[in-house]
Structure 1
Amino acid sequence: MKLDEFHLERIQSQWENIVDYNLSESGVEPLRLNELVPHNRLQREILETKLGYPQTNGSIPLRRNVSSLYEGATEDHVLVTNGGSEANMVSIWNMLHESDDRDEVVVELPNYMQIWGYSRAFGANVKSFWLTEGDGAWLPDIEGLKDMVSKKTNLIALCNPNNPTGATMKEEHLKAIAEIAEDCGAWILSDEIYRGAELVEQRTPTMWDYYDRVLVTSGLSKAYGLPGLRIGWIACKDEDKVRDLWSYSDYTSIAPSMLGDRLGQMALEPAMREFIEKRTKRILKENWAAMEKWLGENEDIMTCIPPEAAPVCLVKYSESIKSTELAESLIQEKSVLVAPGDHFLLPQTIRIGYGHDKKKLVKGLSLTADFLRGEE
């Protein structure tokens, strides 16, 4: 098995802790531990936690809290993983390894290219269908998906809300995709790591509600601002499939960390979950206002379809420079890091994360515009 280089992760890992202004970050400003554990009693409980192995598929309280996000689910429908990345990896590995005659994976693009890379590494015939621009929104090409699937399609992979565009699929889109999957006998892998990070009050619909053969992956890294806990999960209506997935995670990380599991339980308790989600929406609305102002001031050199969810947006620029070259120049000349659109197969674009420190966001945006205008 040979893995393609994960170009986006490489440029972020190399520079995100070195530059002055990191606009590549795709989550919201992380919570501090004393925000998640604000009371003395709970703090003592955490300090007295024995740092042994937790239950390897996730503790029952954590899985029960995760299951509350999906109608009709119980803890037996949930496998806890080390972040959403392991959830996607285990899902792809399991689905392709367990099938002898279905070797096609159809991936929604643009996308965070992890599922694309895993599928190629495991020997799948990877196809794609695209979100397309129309009426001021990114919309799934349903007819294009119909043309891509076949009786050899193992999996249709979605990212909803979408990274890098911030677009969300609506109920009618999910129903249409579910019908296509049903017709060709495919499973659906729905990466919903940004669900709960909406700029509007309405929560993004989940594929859980529209299809039985679905693997929903998610975690606490993005919408919940807790990437350091490394808590992700797979939710599936088929309990046998969940146990099967668990046997695969025995060969990867074995278990989440004890502290990650315990703090994850706390994050998903109803009152704390409500607090975190309100905090996320507040940060996004405040920071998007600054982002929108900057876009308006620079509309002669860039355009952007506003995101509906997620602290990321995709910006098209008019300067005739490759996005990878633009990103490298911004690092060297302005100490600003952006995510090149080339890493999402979308040239002449950059992904900007707007969910972190507002003052640094505004300064980083200003420096980016200065560079595109050729100003010192």
Structure 2
Amino acid sequence: MVKIDPFAIEQWMDKYETTPGVLNIAETCAASISIDDLVALCEDPNTEPPLKPSTKLTYGPIRGSPTLRQRLASLYSVRVPTPLPADNILITPGAIAANFLLLYTLIGPGDHVVCMYPTYQQLYSVPESLGAEVSRWKLRREKKFIPDLDDLKSLVRENTKMIIINNPNNPTGATVPKSVLQGLVDFARERDILIFSDEVYRPLFHSISPTDAEFPPSMLSMGYEKTIVTGSMSKAYSLAGIRIGWIASRDCSVIESLASARDYTTISVSQLDDQVASYTLSESVIHSLLARNIQLAKTNLALMESFISQHGYACSWVKPTGGTVAFIRFEKKGVLVDDVQFSIDVIENTKVMFAPGSECFGEEFKGYVRIGFVCETDVLREALEKLGEYVRENLV
């Protein structure tokens, strides 16, 4: 029997997010939208609606509809010499299924994996459960949670099969600069190591401009064939409820191996979900949706920045540059709080919910909490007001 560690962040969410009256700033999706909201964002009135009542609800295309796969392939074909073929995209039930399928198929006993850390626990616990050795490529606060390539070089072994990154990063909100990505590609290519990039928060970049020389492209755009990326409609696209994720790679053999393993877990995704995702990624919708979410992130980040400034005696951060999350460190008179008890006490006394760092991301993150700040602005504002009152009463 495969043994795997309990998935701490998911268990925390399951335990507390249904608390009556909760102000949930633990959620990591950009504020969710309805089908009506999605249609209202459409810039072309001639675009067909996202759900076609005449569709017969068969399994549908096994690997995902041609429309959806082509629209995703187009996103990975910007500013690259060779467009990505639609056949190099595989649709899955969310990015969590994409990640699991990728690791299950490619990693096994005797393999060594290097994984960025902290990150979503699935990315290191699943390889460990499959019998691989995992070394953690640690992000450091003093380096603004940007990975150090020298640290990576000290971790790699003769049997290193895969390097795993998460960009933008969960839980820190840091983005890996283009120059670091290029260094990673050069290093991996020399050693013929697979790169797996979890890009579930891409392309929600709120604090770095696409014109910036260090703006991070998708790893799939970096010219290294042995790169695999995963993504989702849940985070940057506000549609967690349709459960659509994907795997993309320029290596056709990898895609075929994943498709073969996928047969044991997923016949197809829901045709209805596929239709909504295809509509969302159309030219008439995607730009207005992303503009909405980037503006929401900027507005809410300003609220977060104001909160940190006002309560600097008790909390601090490395300001995030992408994605939907921030990693905040709390202390009382110079001593780090017990983040688990702090999180429980806050939710019990104020109904404000966030995720404790040591419980959900590792013991070395005692004192940290993760806040998902790209929720509805009114929710964040109320949550920060209540949290501020608690901090002033208890952490002075």
Q: TM-score, normalised by structure 2?
A: 0.90
Residue number in structure 1 paired with 2:64: 58
Give the letter aligned to residue 367 of structure 1: K
Contact 1:195–1:204 under 8 Å retained in 2: no
Deviations 1:225-272 (A, max 9, x none): 111111111101011221210111111232211111111111111221
Give the letter aligned to residue 135 of structure 2: K
Deviations 1:260-288 (A, max 9, x none): 11111111112211111101111101111
| 1:178 and 2:190 matched | no
Distance 1:122 1:370, change over 3 A: same
Residue number in structure 2 paired with 1:291: 304
Give the letter aligned to residue 91 of structure 1: L
Cα RMSD after superposing both structures: 1.9
| 1:271 and 2:271 matched | no
Residue number in structure 1 paired with 2:80: none
Deviations 1:160-184 (A, max 9, x none): 0111111111111011111222233
| 1:119 and 2:132 matched | no
Report how far residue 69 of structure 1 moved: 1.3
Report how far residue 370 of structure 1 moved: 2.8
| 1:204 and 2:212 matched | no
Q: Which moved more, 1:14-23 or 1:170-179?
A: 14-23
Alignment gaps of 5+ in structure 2 = 78-82
| Number of equivalences | 372
| 1:8 and 2:9 matched | yes
Report how far residue 50 of structure 1 moved: 2.4
- The one of 317, 336, 342 equivalent to 1:326 is 342
Residue number in structure 2 paired with 1:358: 377
Give the letter aligned to residue 330 of structure 2: Y
Q: Secondary structure at the match of 1:128?
A: strand
Residue number in structure 1 paired with 2:314: 301
| 1:145 and 2:152 matched | yes
Give the letter aligned to residue 8 of structure 1: I
CA–CA distance in structure 2, aligned partners of residues 373 and 362 of structure 1: 16
Report how far residue 290 of structure 1 moved: 1.1
CA–CA distance in structure 2, aligned partners of residues 340 and 28 of structure 1: 20
Give the letter aligned to residue 30 of structure 2: V
Contact 1:86–1:232 under 8 Å retained in 2: yes
Q: Which moved more, 1:184-193 or 1:364-373?
A: 364-373
Give the letter aligned to residue 219 of structure 1: S
CA–CA distance in structure 2, aligned partners of residues 227 and 268 of structure 1: 15
Report how far residue 55 of structure 1 moved: 1.1
Give the letter aligned to residue 172 of structure 1: S
| 1:77 and 2:93 matched | no
User: What is the identity percentage for the equivalent residue pairs of Structure 1 and Structure 2?
Assistant: 29
Q: Secondary structure at the match of 2:304?
A: helix
Q: Secondary structure at the match of 2:48?
A: helix
Q: Which moved more, 1:138-147 or 1:199-208?
A: 199-208
Q: Secondary structure at the match of 2:312?
A: coil
Residue number in structure 2 paired with 1:49: 55
Give the letter aligned to residue 179 of structure 2: E
Q: Secondary structure at the match of 1:156?
A: strand
Q: Which moved more, 1:308-317 or 1:324-333?
A: 324-333
Q: Which moved more, 1:150-159 or 1:173-182?
A: 173-182
Alignment gaps of 5+ in structure 1 = none
Contact 2:328–2:369 under 8 Å retained in 1: yes
